[in-house]
Structure 1
Amino acid sequence: MAITLFDPLDTLVRLDAEARKASPLPRSPEAWREINTSHGERVIGMFAPVDPQDLHPEKWEMHPHGDELLFLLEGAIDVVLGDDDGHDQAPLALRAGQGCLVPVGTWHRLLLREPSRLMFVTPAGGTRMRPWRDGA
Protein backbone atom coordinates (compact mmCIF):
# COMPACT_ATOMS: atom_id res chain seq x y z
CA MET A 1 0.00 0.00 0.00
CA ALA A 2 1.43 3.38 -1.03
CA ILE A 3 0.69 6.76 0.48
CA THR A 4 0.54 9.73 -1.88
CA LEU A 5 1.77 13.11 -0.67
CA PHE A 6 0.46 16.24 -2.39
CA ASP A 7 -0.01 19.98 -1.98
CA PRO A 8 -3.71 20.59 -1.22
CA LEU A 9 -3.57 23.97 -2.98
CA ASP A 10 -2.38 22.35 -6.23
CA THR A 11 -4.36 19.12 -6.05
CA LEU A 12 -8.02 18.17 -6.06
CA VAL A 13 -9.11 14.82 -4.64
CA ARG A 14 -11.93 12.87 -6.25
CA LEU A 15 -13.96 10.88 -3.75
CA ASP A 16 -15.77 7.90 -5.25
CA ALA A 17 -17.89 6.31 -2.50
CA GLU A 18 -19.07 3.46 -4.70
CA ALA A 19 -15.52 2.40 -5.59
CA ARG A 20 -14.34 3.31 -2.08
CA LYS A 21 -11.50 5.25 -3.63
CA ALA A 22 -9.92 8.70 -3.35
CA SER A 23 -7.78 9.86 -6.28
CA PRO A 24 -5.54 12.95 -6.37
CA LEU A 25 -5.91 15.04 -9.51
CA PRO A 26 -3.50 17.91 -10.28
CA ARG A 27 -5.52 21.14 -10.40
CA SER A 28 -5.95 22.47 -13.92
CA PRO A 29 -8.74 23.65 -16.25
CA GLU A 30 -8.80 20.12 -17.69
CA ALA A 31 -9.21 18.60 -14.21
CA TRP A 32 -12.19 20.87 -13.53
CA ARG A 33 -13.76 19.91 -16.88
CA GLU A 34 -13.26 16.22 -16.09
CA ILE A 35 -14.82 16.62 -12.65
CA ASN A 36 -17.74 18.60 -14.02
CA THR A 37 -18.66 15.72 -16.34
CA SER A 38 -18.47 13.11 -13.56
CA HIS A 39 -21.50 11.84 -11.66
CA GLY A 40 -21.95 10.36 -8.21
CA GLU A 41 -18.60 11.58 -6.90
CA ARG A 42 -17.41 14.41 -4.69
CA VAL A 43 -14.33 16.52 -5.00
CA ILE A 44 -12.39 18.00 -2.11
CA GLY A 45 -9.95 20.83 -2.45
CA MET A 46 -8.60 24.02 -1.01
CA PHE A 47 -8.27 27.61 -2.18
CA ALA A 48 -6.06 30.35 -0.76
CA PRO A 49 -7.65 33.47 -2.28
CA VAL A 50 -5.86 36.79 -1.75
CA ASP A 51 -7.68 38.92 -4.32
CA PRO A 52 -11.50 39.21 -4.56
CA GLN A 53 -11.37 38.03 -8.20
CA ASP A 54 -9.86 34.70 -7.05
CA LEU A 55 -13.42 33.63 -6.07
CA HIS A 56 -15.21 34.78 -9.28
CA PRO A 57 -17.61 37.13 -7.41
CA GLU A 58 -19.13 38.24 -10.73
CA LYS A 59 -20.67 34.79 -11.25
CA TRP A 60 -23.33 32.74 -9.52
CA GLU A 61 -22.54 29.05 -9.04
CA MET A 62 -24.96 26.17 -8.47
CA HIS A 63 -24.51 22.43 -7.84
CA PRO A 64 -27.55 20.42 -8.99
CA HIS A 65 -26.35 17.04 -7.68
CA GLY A 66 -25.72 17.69 -3.99
CA ASP A 67 -24.94 20.02 -1.14
CA GLU A 68 -21.58 21.81 -1.04
CA LEU A 69 -19.54 21.99 2.16
CA LEU A 70 -17.45 25.12 2.70
CA PHE A 71 -15.04 25.26 5.63
CA LEU A 72 -12.99 28.39 6.24
CA LEU A 73 -9.65 27.57 7.84
CA GLU A 74 -8.32 31.17 7.86
CA GLY A 75 -9.58 34.59 6.90
CA ALA A 76 -13.01 36.03 6.12
CA ILE A 77 -15.41 35.31 3.24
CA ASP A 78 -19.06 36.24 2.78
CA VAL A 79 -21.36 33.63 1.24
CA VAL A 80 -24.15 35.24 -0.77
CA LEU A 81 -27.19 33.20 -1.78
CA GLY A 82 -29.39 34.15 -4.69
CA ASP A 83 -33.15 34.13 -4.63
CA ASP A 84 -35.28 32.74 -7.47
CA ASP A 85 -35.15 36.08 -9.30
CA GLY A 86 -31.34 36.34 -9.14
CA HIS A 87 -31.26 38.94 -6.36
CA ASP A 88 -28.75 38.75 -3.53
CA GLN A 89 -29.98 37.63 -0.15
CA ALA A 90 -28.23 38.99 2.95
CA PRO A 91 -24.63 37.74 3.01
CA LEU A 92 -23.59 35.09 5.51
CA ALA A 93 -20.32 36.07 7.20
CA LEU A 94 -18.07 33.01 7.19
CA ARG A 95 -15.08 33.51 9.46
CA ALA A 96 -12.02 31.43 10.34
CA GLY A 97 -12.99 28.13 11.93
CA GLN A 98 -16.56 28.20 10.60
CA GLY A 99 -18.21 26.04 7.98
CA CYS A 100 -21.48 26.05 6.10
CA LEU A 101 -23.52 23.82 3.83
CA VAL A 102 -24.87 25.31 0.61
CA PRO A 103 -28.00 23.28 -0.22
CA VAL A 104 -28.30 21.43 -3.51
CA GLY A 105 -29.59 23.64 -6.31
CA THR A 106 -28.86 26.92 -4.49
CA TRP A 107 -27.26 29.72 -6.50
CA HIS A 108 -24.40 31.24 -4.52
CA ARG A 109 -21.26 33.30 -4.82
CA LEU A 110 -18.36 34.10 -2.51
CA LEU A 111 -16.99 37.52 -1.59
CA LEU A 112 -13.47 37.72 -0.19
CA ARG A 113 -13.16 40.02 2.84
CA GLU A 114 -9.54 39.18 3.66
CA PRO A 115 -6.94 36.67 2.43
CA SER A 116 -8.24 33.22 3.34
CA ARG A 117 -7.84 29.46 3.18
CA LEU A 118 -11.05 27.76 2.14
CA MET A 119 -11.64 24.02 2.00
CA PHE A 120 -14.56 22.70 -0.01
CA VAL A 121 -16.31 19.40 -0.66
CA THR A 122 -18.37 19.72 -3.83
CA PRO A 123 -20.55 17.28 -5.74
CA ALA A 124 -18.93 16.42 -9.04
CA GLY A 125 -20.85 16.89 -12.23
CA GLY A 126 -23.21 19.50 -13.52
CA THR A 127 -21.93 22.62 -11.77
CA ARG A 128 -23.58 25.58 -13.44
CA MET A 129 -22.44 29.19 -13.58
CA ARG A 130 -24.24 32.34 -14.65
CA PRO A 131 -23.35 36.04 -14.54
CA TRP A 132 -24.13 38.06 -11.45
CA ARG A 133 -25.74 41.40 -12.07
CA ASP A 134 -26.03 43.84 -9.20
CA GLY A 135 -29.75 44.18 -8.44
CA ALA A 136 -30.76 41.95 -11.37
Structure 2
Amino acid sequence: MPGRIEPFVAQDHLILLDAEGAAAPLLRSVDAWRRVNRSSDGRVIGFSRPQIAEDLHPDKWEMHPSGDEFLHLIEGELEVVLDRPGEDARLTLTQGGAVVVPRGVWHRLLLRQPSALMFVTPGGGTRMRPVDADA
Protein backbone atom coordinates (compact mmCIF):
# COMPACT_ATOMS: atom_id res chain seq x y z
CA MET A 1 0.00 0.00 0.00
CA PRO A 2 1.55 3.33 -1.01
CA GLY A 3 2.15 6.03 1.58
CA ARG A 4 0.15 9.19 1.85
CA ILE A 5 -0.37 10.97 -1.47
CA GLU A 6 -0.12 14.75 -1.30
CA PRO A 7 -0.28 17.43 -4.01
CA PHE A 8 2.78 19.67 -4.38
CA VAL A 9 3.86 22.68 -6.40
CA ALA A 10 5.82 21.24 -9.33
CA GLN A 11 7.86 24.41 -9.86
CA ASP A 12 9.19 24.16 -6.30
CA HIS A 13 10.34 20.57 -6.73
CA LEU A 14 12.52 18.29 -8.81
CA ILE A 15 10.91 14.95 -9.59
CA LEU A 16 13.48 12.17 -9.59
CA LEU A 17 12.45 9.15 -11.69
CA ASP A 18 14.45 6.01 -11.00
CA ALA A 19 15.06 3.04 -13.29
CA GLU A 20 12.45 0.96 -11.45
CA GLY A 21 9.70 3.48 -12.18
CA ALA A 22 9.50 5.26 -8.82
CA ALA A 23 8.99 9.03 -8.75
CA ALA A 24 10.29 11.06 -5.80
CA PRO A 25 9.41 14.75 -5.52
CA LEU A 26 12.37 16.59 -3.96
CA LEU A 27 11.96 20.11 -2.64
CA ARG A 28 14.24 22.21 -4.87
CA SER A 29 17.48 22.86 -2.95
CA VAL A 30 21.24 22.38 -3.18
CA ASP A 31 20.79 18.98 -1.50
CA ALA A 32 18.12 17.96 -4.03
CA TRP A 33 20.45 18.82 -6.94
CA ARG A 34 23.24 16.83 -5.24
CA ARG A 35 20.96 13.82 -4.98
CA VAL A 36 20.01 14.16 -8.66
CA ASN A 37 23.66 14.42 -9.67
CA ARG A 38 24.54 11.30 -7.64
CA SER A 39 21.83 9.24 -9.33
CA SER A 40 23.21 7.43 -12.33
CA ASP A 41 20.27 5.54 -13.79
CA GLY A 42 17.29 7.87 -13.61
CA ARG A 43 15.88 11.10 -14.94
CA VAL A 44 14.80 14.32 -13.32
CA ILE A 45 11.80 16.38 -14.35
CA GLY A 46 11.84 20.03 -13.40
CA PHE A 47 10.16 23.31 -14.14
CA SER A 48 11.60 26.80 -14.06
CA ARG A 49 10.30 30.30 -14.66
CA PRO A 50 13.35 32.27 -15.81
CA GLN A 51 12.63 36.00 -15.69
CA ILE A 52 16.13 37.43 -16.19
CA ALA A 53 19.11 36.15 -18.21
CA GLU A 54 21.02 34.99 -15.12
CA ASP A 55 18.23 32.56 -14.21
CA LEU A 56 19.57 30.29 -16.99
CA HIS A 57 23.36 30.51 -16.30
CA PRO A 58 24.12 32.01 -19.77
CA ASP A 59 27.83 32.22 -18.89
CA LYS A 60 28.15 28.41 -18.65
CA TRP A 61 27.84 25.53 -21.05
CA GLU A 62 26.32 22.31 -19.74
CA MET A 63 26.51 18.75 -21.01
CA HIS A 64 24.82 15.49 -20.02
CA PRO A 65 27.00 12.43 -20.70
CA SER A 66 24.35 9.98 -19.41
CA GLY A 67 21.59 10.69 -21.92
CA ASP A 68 19.55 13.11 -23.98
CA GLU A 69 17.80 16.13 -22.42
CA PHE A 70 14.24 17.14 -23.35
CA LEU A 71 13.34 20.85 -23.13
CA HIS A 72 9.75 22.08 -23.53
CA LEU A 73 8.99 25.79 -23.48
CA ILE A 74 5.54 26.25 -21.99
CA GLU A 75 5.53 30.02 -22.50
CA GLY A 76 7.92 32.81 -23.45
CA GLU A 77 10.93 32.68 -25.73
CA LEU A 78 14.46 31.42 -25.36
CA GLU A 79 17.38 30.43 -27.52
CA VAL A 80 19.11 27.05 -27.24
CA VAL A 81 22.77 27.36 -28.21
CA LEU A 82 24.55 24.13 -29.17
CA ASP A 83 28.35 24.06 -29.20
CA ARG A 84 29.13 22.59 -32.61
CA PRO A 85 32.53 22.34 -34.31
CA GLY A 86 33.23 25.52 -36.25
CA GLU A 87 30.27 27.51 -34.96
CA ASP A 88 27.39 27.48 -32.52
CA ALA A 89 24.00 26.26 -33.69
CA ARG A 90 21.18 28.47 -32.40
CA LEU A 91 17.59 27.27 -32.08
CA THR A 92 14.78 29.61 -31.05
CA LEU A 93 12.00 28.13 -28.93
CA THR A 94 8.69 29.91 -28.52
CA GLN A 95 5.56 28.91 -26.62
CA GLY A 96 4.89 25.21 -27.07
CA GLY A 97 8.25 24.53 -28.74
CA ALA A 98 10.48 21.67 -27.69
CA VAL A 99 13.89 20.24 -28.50
CA VAL A 100 15.91 17.17 -27.59
CA VAL A 101 19.55 17.97 -26.87
CA PRO A 102 21.56 14.81 -27.65
CA ARG A 103 23.75 13.12 -25.08
CA GLY A 104 27.22 14.68 -24.87
CA VAL A 105 26.35 17.95 -26.68
CA TRP A 106 27.46 21.11 -24.85
CA HIS A 107 24.60 23.63 -24.71
CA ARG A 108 23.28 26.69 -22.93
CA LEU A 109 20.03 28.63 -22.82
CA LEU A 110 19.62 32.35 -23.50
CA LEU A 111 16.47 34.08 -22.29
CA ARG A 112 14.69 36.24 -24.87
CA GLN A 113 11.43 36.76 -22.91
CA PRO A 114 10.33 35.74 -19.41
CA SER A 115 9.47 32.07 -19.77
CA ALA A 116 8.17 28.86 -18.27
CA LEU A 117 10.31 25.82 -19.05
CA MET A 118 9.96 22.11 -18.38
CA PHE A 119 13.01 19.86 -18.64
CA VAL A 120 13.62 16.13 -18.47
CA THR A 121 17.30 15.58 -17.79
CA PRO A 122 19.43 12.49 -17.18
CA GLY A 123 20.36 12.07 -13.55
CA GLY A 124 24.03 12.12 -12.69
CA GLY A 125 27.09 13.37 -14.44
CA THR A 126 25.99 16.82 -15.64
CA ARG A 127 29.11 18.79 -16.52
CA MET A 128 29.52 22.56 -16.69
CA ARG A 129 32.21 24.79 -18.18
CA PRO A 130 32.46 28.58 -18.49
CA VAL A 131 31.66 30.13 -21.86
CA ASP A 132 34.81 32.27 -21.67
CA ALA A 133 36.93 29.09 -21.52
CA ASP A 134 36.27 28.82 -25.27
CA ALA A 135 38.22 32.01 -26.03
The TM-score, its normalising length taken from structure 2, stands at: 0.93
**Cα distance in structure 2, aligned partners of 1:15 and 1:68:** 14
SS of aligned partner of 2:84:
coil
1:46 partner amino acid:
F
Unaligned runs of 5+ in 2: none
Partner of 1:123: 122
Deviation at 1:82, TM superposition (A): 0.6
**Cα distance in structure 2, aligned partners of 1:91 and 1:50:** 20
**Cα distance in structure 2, aligned partners of 1:15 and 1:39:** 11
**Cα distance in structure 2, aligned partners of 1:133 and 1:103:** 23
2:52 partner amino acid:
D
Contact 2:60–2:128 (8 Å) recurs in 1? yes
SS of aligned partner of 2:31:
helix
Partner of 1:104: 103
SS of aligned partner of 1:43:
strand
Structure 1 vs Structure 2 CA RMSD: 1.5
Sequence identity percentage: 55
Higher helix residue share: 2
The TM-score, its normalising length taken from structure 1, stands at: 0.92
**Cα distance in structure 1, aligned partners of 2:46 and 2:26:** 10
SS of aligned partner of 2:11:
coil
- Structure 1 stretches (4+) deviating beyond 6 angstroms? none
Partner of 1:28: 29
Deviation at 1:88, TM superposition (A): 5.0
